[in-house]
Amino acid sequence: MKPEHFDTARLHAGYDPAAHLQSPLVPIYQTAAFGLGDTETAAAITAGTKADAYTYSRVGNPTVRAFEKRLAALDGGTDAVAVGSGMAAISYALLNVAEGGGRILAPTNIYGASLDEFRTLLPKFGIQFDFFDDINDLTTIKSLLRPETKAIYIESVANPSTEVADIAALAQIAHAAGIPLIVDNTFPTPYLCRPFEFGADIDVYSSTKGINGHGNVVSGVVIDHGQFDWNNGKFPQMTEPEFILGDEAQHKTASFYSKFGANAFINRIRMKYLRLLGAVMSPFDAYLALLGLETISERLSKEVQSATAIAQYLTTNPHVKHVYYSGIEKDNQLVKKYFPHGIGAILSFELAGDEEQVAKVLDNVHVFTYLPNVGDVRSLIVNPVKVTHREMPQAIRLKHQLNQQVLRLSIGLEDVRDLIADLDQAIRQAFVLPQE
Ligand SMILES: *Cc1c(COP(=O)(O)O)cnc(C)c1O
Residue 48 resides in a domain: no
Domain C-terminal end among 245, 277, 292:
292
CA of 254 to the centre of ligand 1 (A): 35
Distance of CA 157 to the CA centre of its chain: 10
331 burial type by CB count under 10 A (0-12 exposed, 13-18 middle, 19+ buried): exposed
- The mean pLDDT of 311-317, rounded to a whole number, is 98
Q: Same structural domain for residues 267 and 301? A: no
Burial 343-378 (b: 16+ CB within 10 A, else e): bbbbbbbbbebeeebbebbbebbebbbeeebbbbbb
pLDDT at site 435? 61
Q: Residue 422 carries which side chain, given as an amino acid letter? A: D
| 50 within some domain | no
Give the pLDDT of residue 210.
Answer: 97
Same domain, 186 and 331: no
**102 shares its domain with 228:** yes
Report which of residues 245 and 30 the model is more confident about: 30
Q: What is the pLDDT of residue 33?
A: 96
User: Measured in whole angstroms, how far is the alpha carbon of residue 335 from the centre of its chain?
Assistant: 19
* pLDDT at 434 > cutoff 80: no
pLDDT in the model for residue 189: 98
Q: Over the chain, what is the mean pLDDT? A: 95
Pair (137, 267) in one structural domain: yes
Q: Is residue 242 part of a domain?
A: yes
pLDDT of residue 260: 96
Task: State the amino acid at position 27 in one-letter form.
Answer: P
Same domain, 91 and 221: yes
Q: pLDDT (tens digit, 9 = 90+) per residue, 54-102? A: 999 999 999 999 999 999 999 999 999 999 999 999 999 999 999 989 9
Same domain, 106 and 255: yes
Which ligand 1 atom minimizes the distance to the CA of 88?
9
Judge whether 350 lies within some domain: yes
End-of-domain residue from the set 248, 274, 292: 292
Q: What is the pLDDT of residue 159?
A: 84
Mean pLDDT, rounded, for 173-199 = 98
Helix pair 416-430, 355-364: axis angle to 10 deg: 140
pLDDT at 436: 52
CA–centroid distance, residue 112 to ligand 1 (Å): 9
Q: What is the pLDDT of residues 283-301, one digit of tens each?
A: 999 999 999 999 999 999 9
Of 116, 121, 156, 209, which is best to mutate to test ligand 1, by the most ligand atoms within 8 angstroms of its C-beta? 209
Give me ligand 1 centre to Cα 238, in Å: 27
- DSSP structure string for 403-419: -TTEEEEE--SS-HHHH
152 strand-pairing partners: 105, 181
Nearest-CA residue for ligand 1 atom 4 is 86
Domain count, the chain: 2
Q: In 102-115, which positions are buried (b, 16+ CB within 10 angstroms) versus exposed (e)? A: bbbbbbbbbbbbbb
The CA-based angle 380-131-166, given to 5 degrees, is: 65
Q: What is the pLDDT of residue 3?
A: 54
CA atoms within 13 A on the CB side of 307: 36
CA distance 78 to 100: 26
Q: Which of 233-242, 363-372, 425-434 has the lowest mean pLDDT?
A: 425-434
Same domain flag for 318 and 179? no
In a domain, 42, yes or no: no
Let me know whether 318 and 242 are in one domain.
no
Binned at pLDDT 50, 70 and 90, residue 160 comes out as confident
Is 1 a domain residue?
no
- Rounded CA separation 177/199 (Å): 14
* Alpha carbon separation from 60 to 47, 52, 278, 282, 348 (Å, rounded): 15, 10, 11, 10, 39
112 and 139 together in one domain: yes
Q: Which atom of ligand 1 is nearest to the CA of 219?
A: 7
Q: Which residues pair with 151 in a beta bridge?
A: 104
In-domain check, residue 111: yes
Q: Give dist(CA 355, CA 336) in Å, integer.
A: 35
- Same domain as 128, residue 274: yes
Over residues 134-161, mean pLDDT: 96
CA of 369 to the centre of ligand 1 (A): 18
Q: What is the CATH number of the domain that holds 137?
A: 3.40.640.10
Are 115 and 391 in contact by the 8 Å Cβ rule? The answer is: yes
Ligand 1 centroid to residue 205 C-alpha, Å: 7
Cα-trace Rg, the chain: 23
Reply yes or no on whether the pLDDT at 433 is more than 80: no
pTM score over 0.85: yes
Residues in the chain: 436
CA distance 163 to 326: 6
Asked if 430 and 360 touch (Cβ cutoff 8 Å), the reply is yes
Structure confidence by residue, pLDDT tens digits, 413-423: 999 999 999 99
pLDDT digits (tens, 9 = 90+) for 384-413: 988 888 888 888 988 888 899 999 999 999
Residues 228 and 269 in one domain: yes
What secondary structure letter does DSSP report for 197?
Answer: G
Which of 292, 325, 349 terminates a domain? The answer is 292
Residue 208 CA: nearest ligand 1 atom is: 7
pLDDT of residue 247: 85
Which pLDDT belongs to residue 372? 94
**56 lies in a domain?**
no
Q: How far is CA 18 from the centre of its chain?
A: 31
Say yes or no to pLDDT of 155 above 70.
Answer: yes
Task: Report the alpha-carbon distance of residue 67 to residue 25 in Å, rounded.
Answer: 11
Amino acid at 128: Q
Residues lining ligand 1, Cβ inside 6 A = 85-87, 111, 113-114, 155, 159, 184, 186-187, 206, 208-209, 218, 220, 374
Q: Domain check: are 212 and 79 in the same one?
A: yes
Residues 338-360 have a mean pLDDT of 96
What single-letter DSSP state applies at residue 163?
A: P
Number of the ligand 1 atom closest to the C-alpha atom of 89: 9
Closest ligand 1 atom to Cα of 374: 15
Which CATH number does the domain housing residue 409 bear? 3.90.1150.10
Q: Which domain does 110 fall in, by range? A: 6-30+61-292
CA of 322 to the centre of ligand 1 (A): 25
The CA 220 to ligand 1 mean position distance, Å, reads 8
Percentage of the chain beyond pLDDT 90 is: 87
Helix (H, G, I), strand (E, B) or coil at 213: coil
| Top mutation candidate among 87, 121, 211, 347 for ligand 1, by most atoms within 8 Å of CB | 87
Q: Is pLDDT at 1 greater than 60 in this prediction?
A: no
For every residue of 53-107, DSSP letters joined together read --SBTTT--HHHHHHHHHHHHHHT-SEEEEES-HHHHHHHHHHHHHTTT-EEEEE
* Cα dihedral 64, 70, 75, 80 in deg (nearest 10): 30
Which of 23, 21, 29, 24 is closest to 12 using CA atoms?
A: 24
Neighbours of 147 (CB within 10 A): 8
Q: What pairs with residue 323 in β-bridges? A: 349
419, 307 contact by CB (below 8 A)? no
DSSP letters, 256-324, are HHHHHGGGHHHHHIIIIIIHHH--PPPHHHHHHHHHHHTTHHHHHHHHHHHHHHHHHHHHH-TTEEEEE
Query: Where does the pLDDT of residue 2 fall: very low under 50, low under 70, confident under 90, or very high at 90 and above?
Result: low
